[in-house]
Amino acid sequence: MKSFFIGNLEVKLPVIQGGMGVGVSLSGLASAVANEGGIGVISCAGLGLIHKGHGNFIKNSIWGLKEELRLAREKTKGIIGVNIMVALSNFADMARTAIAEKADIIFAGAGLPLDLPSYKTADSKTKLVPIVSSARAARIICEKWYNNYSYLPDAIVVEGPKAGGHLGFKREQLDDEQYSLEQIIPEVIKTVASYKEIKTISVIAAGGISSGGDMYRFIELGASAVQMGTIFVTTDECDASTAFKQVYLTAQKDDLTIINSPVGMPGRAIKGEFLKRVAEGLEVPKNCPVHCIKTCDYTKSPYCIMKALFNAAKGDMKKGYAFAGINAHLAQKISSVKEVVCKLKEEFAIAEKVALSAIVLSHG
């Protein structure tokens, strides 16, 4: 495995831990991944519910992000990023706070972060990395950022249809090979190559990547690194409760399902009692306590997504559910982050060896 660069930041292990809200990837998981040489990522979604007592949801969120970054810095000297959903109503506050607190990287998805560079300050060293699902989205962001701010992304995460959580695809596109990650990665690489005289933009593959063999395949396709979320849920260091992790360990392949999220996007989750009640129309939000998502209208929503994900991360699976990538059913036990990374390295080395053997044989 080779290191790669995001701007002037050298990442020793080409693995970004995906940001998982609400309360699944905080300082505990992020610092553990950073200590292995990868990029650890704190999710901003729901920080205002996790860190209460500092005023309203907005103030709680700002304080919570500062606190999680401080805790992560106590545990690691590695690279710590922050994941901010563009759909969050407090997106601007979270972006400004991440930059002021000198987070190494902002990853922004669940919408196009067209104004993200506007939050940079003169002395800011925070790298800006949008998350996209198509070459078209990558091109739009590059054009807007360059024309409006004379700035280009420091890297781009390309999230395919096999990811967990919110998906940037229509339902009918999820199983269409035309929209597979294998198809999109080369297209995005071609898009960013047109800017190579100005800036080198690393492309990171994400969505359904669950082994060192998968990593090898996408790096061979031209990606600089991979983003992985689901594989880190069943680790000791993951910030979610044991009950939440247990849902992954007992999940079967056909337990993974596509839901309509109140955010207005399809999402991949693990079936359970709560989602069954939602399907039966038995979960109805009485009010909107925090208006956390710009696109969410609680009068038309079947439930409050922030509360549901918060409840699940705490372990109350009767009042929530777990988002997960398509290969969540492969999880077999709780491991340490170090063990997960060691296994990825071993699998990567095997895949590399097999590929080299095949080349030797073909040259006979």
Going across the sheet that includes 256-260, the strands are 165-166, 266-270, 256-260
Does residue 57 surpass a pLDDT of 70? yes
Q: What is the mean pLDDT of the chain?
A: 94
CB 312 within 8 A of CB 304: no
Q: Name the percent of the chain lying above pLDDT 70.
A: 98
pLDDT tens column, 253-265: 999 999 988 878 8
> Shortest CA distance to 254 belongs to which of 240, 234, 237, 268?
268
pLDDT computed for residue 54 by the predictor: 85
pLDDT tens column, 20-56: 999 999 999 999 999 999 999 999 999 999 999 888 9
pLDDT computed for residue 82 by the predictor: 98
Q: Which long-range contacts (CB under 8 A, 24 or more apart) does 90-96 make?
A: 90/48, 90/57, 90/58, 90/61, 90/292, 91/294, 92/119, 93/58, 93/61, 93/62, 94/44, 94/61, 94/62, 94/65, 95/119
Does residue 211 surpass a pLDDT of 80? yes
Mean pLDDT of all residues in 80-86: 97
Q: Are strands 105-109 and 127-132 parallel, antiparallel or unpaired?
A: parallel
Other CB atoms within a 10 A radius of the CB of residue 96 amount to 16
pLDDT-based confidence at 292, cuts 50/70/90? confident
H helix intervals, 194-304: 212-220, 242-250, 273-279
Q: Calculate the alpha carbon distances from 86 to 118, 306, 321 in Å.
A: 14, 15, 22
pLDDT computed for residue 286 by the predictor: 67
pLDDT tens column, 123-160: 999 999 999 999 999 999 999 999 999 999 999 999 99
Least confident stretch, 205-214, 246-255, 350-359 = 350-359
Length in residues, the chain? 364
The one-letter amino acid at 13? L
Least confident stretch, 13-22, 150-159, 283-292 = 283-292
**What is the torsional sign of CA 338, 161, 315, 262?**
positive
Domains and CATH numbers, the chain: 4-240 (3.20.20.70), 243-328 (no CATH)
- The C-alpha angle with vertex 132 and arms to 127 and 312, in degrees rounded to 5, equals 90
pLDDT tens column, 89-100: 899 999 999 999
Q: How far apart are alpha carbons 247 and 242 in whole angstroms?
A: 9
Does residue 362 surpass a pLDDT of 90? no
pLDDT computed for residue 298 by the predictor: 67
Mean pLDDT of all residues in 332-357: 96
Mean pLDDT of all residues in 186-202: 97
Region of 222 on the Ramachandran plot (φ > 0 left; ψ -120 to 50 alpha; else beta) = left
Instruction: Give pTM, 2 decimals.
Output: 0.95
Q: How far apart are alpha carbons 65 and 40 in whole angstroms?
A: 14
pLDDT tens column, 64-79: 999 999 999 999 999 9
Does residue 289 surpass a pLDDT of 70? no
Which residue do the tokens 């109140």 mark? 262
